Amino acid sequence: MLTGVTDGFFCCLLGTTPNAVGPLDSVESRDGYTFVEVKPGRVLRVKHAGPAQAPASPPPPPPPSPPPPPLEADHGDRSGLVRCQRRITVYRNGRLLVENLGRAPRADLLHGQNGSGEPPAALEVELADPAGSDGRSNPGSAGSGGRRRRARRPKRTIHIDCEKRITSCKGTQADVVLFFIHGVGGSLAIWKEQLDFFVRLGYEVVAPDLAGHGASSAPQVAAAYTFYALAEDMRAIFKRYAKKRNVLIGHSYGQRIHHQASPQPPVFLSNQVVFQSVSFCTFLAHEYPDLVHKVIMINGGGPTALEPSICSIFNMPSCVLHCLSPCLAWSFLKAGFARQGAKEKQLLKEGNAFNVSSFVLRAMMSGQYWPEGDEVYHAELTVPVLLVHGMHDKFVPVEEDQRMAEILLLAFLKLIDEGSHMVMLECPETVNTLLHEFLLWEPEPSPRALPEPQPEPAQE
């Protein structure tokens, strides 16, 4: 700790940024690691492993296949088919009405699932930061004088009506790829237990280091760490390795506009840290709905837009943050793990959590601006999503994951009692089993509508 304070003092005097993160000069073993240049001078380290790894250069596109038979054909296979029907109405006073019109798979079909059965037919919520919201009563509600207010005209209405085929993703299938995306301050090392587990089962896995993290390059420009810049990095990685059925696994989310700390925040860091890998998963699932087969969000938080906090400790100068780095690491240990023993300290060290430069950390915190990722954006997703939440998490309250489950069309919420924010490091066996069950999950085929009986002719 004294060394960190001394380095920060010289940093303030000399005006330089210490502890700059850059690519490693040497790696113990390059087996399974690839350095991908997503942009000129912007290189990301990627862990790519599996029984059938993709070649270094993107393969040529396959020849066009004949169009599949119509789903309504009598001989068509309806296994795994889900009809997604939903109407999303946004009112001018900031109210959001989500109506589920179709039959969604029951949440309790997933083994070991916490939660109730089918989602409610209609859900009405208030947008986090609605444009032109006046905070008045709901459309059509009674006013203060007892008179019924006239229903307001909707600002916009979104209709979703599609049919998706959700199938079991097995490790022996060559068209399945698992993408693991870490959050701010970590590296692909936090997924070590999950990567080893799924590779042994025969899955192809891809895990990148974000820019400025792990062994990826670290541009000394703040604009390189905005959400949009990092999202384009993830898009490039996804397009390089994606196959027919891709599963996105992300950890943590971001600081919301109305984010509140847990009821009993243990340390000052619990309301300051911003993570965002789940936002990347949401972004990719929205951009590539035909390629993203399933999504897993671990301690993701609520379905609200990203916005940097004005009163945040990470708005301090980089040199001050460097002085505080030992305190930040200690605070992360207290808030990110249910227990703070020698094992957790070793996991924190091995996972490289918070092992980033103060410049990168400050730039990423201030660059978390993504107004498009609001409730409406999440409500439009038709991909099945597994939500995993550690009950001891002091960064993300369980109410936010519950709100996410309500907004999403096909969502399963699983609570792990003995886990915290870094649940994949604390409870790797439980997380691995849960993720594998979700990969193998396949909804029951929807019953085919029977023709209505014709009325018999009246007898004379």
Give me the active site residues, please.
Answer: 252, 393, 421
* Beta bridge pairs of residue 96: 90, 125
Token code pair at residue 170:
């097995």
Counting beta carbons within 10 angstroms of the beta carbon of residue 126, is it exposed (0 to 12), middle (13 to 18) or buried (19 or more)?
middle
Question: Terminus-to-terminus CA distance in the chain, angstroms?
Answer: 100
**Closest C-alpha among 319, 334, 456 to residue 395:** 334
C-alpha triplet 273, 275, 277: angle, nearest 5°:
175
| Helix %, strand %, coil % of the chain (to 5) | 30, 20, 50
Cβ neighbours, 10 Å, residue 455: 6
Query: Is residue 176 helix, strand or coil?
Result: strand
DSSP symbol at 309: -
Residues 6+ apart with CB under 8 A from 30: none
